[in-house]
Amino acid sequence: MSSLPFSLASPTHTKQIRTSLTTQASSDFKIYANHEQKFNNKSTSQLLQVNVEKTTYTLLRRREAIGLGLSFTTLLDFLGHNVAVAAEATAPCEFTTTPSGLAFCDKVVGFGPEASKGQLIKAHYTGKLENGKVFDSSYNRGKPLTFRIGVGEVIKGWDQGILGGDGVPPMLAGGKRTLKLPPQLGYGMRGAGCKGGSCIIPPDAVLLFDVEFIGKA
Give per-residue pLDDT as tens, 1-42. Answer: 333 333 333 444 434 434 444 444 444 444 444 444 443 444
Give residue 197's pLDDT: 87
Confidence (pTM): 0.60
Which residues, in sequence order, are CB contacts of 179 under 8 Å at separation 6+? 102, 103, 104, 157, 158, 161, 207, 208, 209, 211
Give residue 54's pLDDT: 53
Q: Which residues are catalytic?
A: 125, 135-136, 155, 187, 209
The model's pLDDT over 124-182, given as tens digits with 9 standing for 90+, comes to 999 999 999 999 999 999 999 999 999 999 999 999 999 999 999 999 999 999 999 99
42 versus 101: the higher-pLDDT residue is: 101
The model's pLDDT over 46-75, given as tens digits with 9 standing for 90+, comes to 544 545 455 545 544 655 544 444 444 444
Give residue 92's pLDDT: 74
In angstroms, the CA 182 to CA 203 distance is: 11
91 versus 116: the higher-pLDDT residue is: 116
